[in-house]
Copies of this chain bind each other. A is one copy, B any other.
Amino acid sequence: MSNIQDKSESVIFPKGVKVSNDYFIGAAFLEMLVPHDNIFNCPIVNVTFEPRARNNWHKHPGGQILLVTGGKGYYQEEGKHVQELHEGDVVKILPDAKHWHGATPDSWFTHIAINTNVQAGAVEWLEPVTDEEYNNLK
């Protein structure tokens, strides 16, 4: 549909720096667009995943909204089928819904993550999405 810049360099917003925590498998990159503060209460991050990269299962006590800007990704909530995501998709992640997101095997993936109601508390990181799970998504 569009012929925007190469997804490995992110889309519109900067690619940022490689994630260095233990809650991701594969390489992902974060650029803080709006930092956490007590004025807006709405930290916003541009996230870019290399093919197959994904975050661990996790929960946001206040919820999160994803705006997909490019590439091809996955979103899955516990007990539900995986959803394939594309440019222009919007994902509303309810408070405390256990979920993960990341890139498909054949594409980079970029989304803006908007953290809502952050007064409710910080993200709770859980177990990784193993290669066995990732290779057998339903």
Contacts and interface: CB of A to CB of B under 8 A. Distances in A.
B44 A88 contact: no
A39 interface: yes
A39 B95 contact: yes
Q: How large is the interface on A (under 10, 10 to 19, 20 to 34, 35 or more residues)?
A: 20 to 34
B5 A2 contact: yes
Given A33-B67, A34-B65, A67-B13, A92 B40 contact: yes
A1 interface: yes
B92 A34 contact: yes
A5 B12 contact: no
A114 B4 contact: no
Contacts of A87: 12
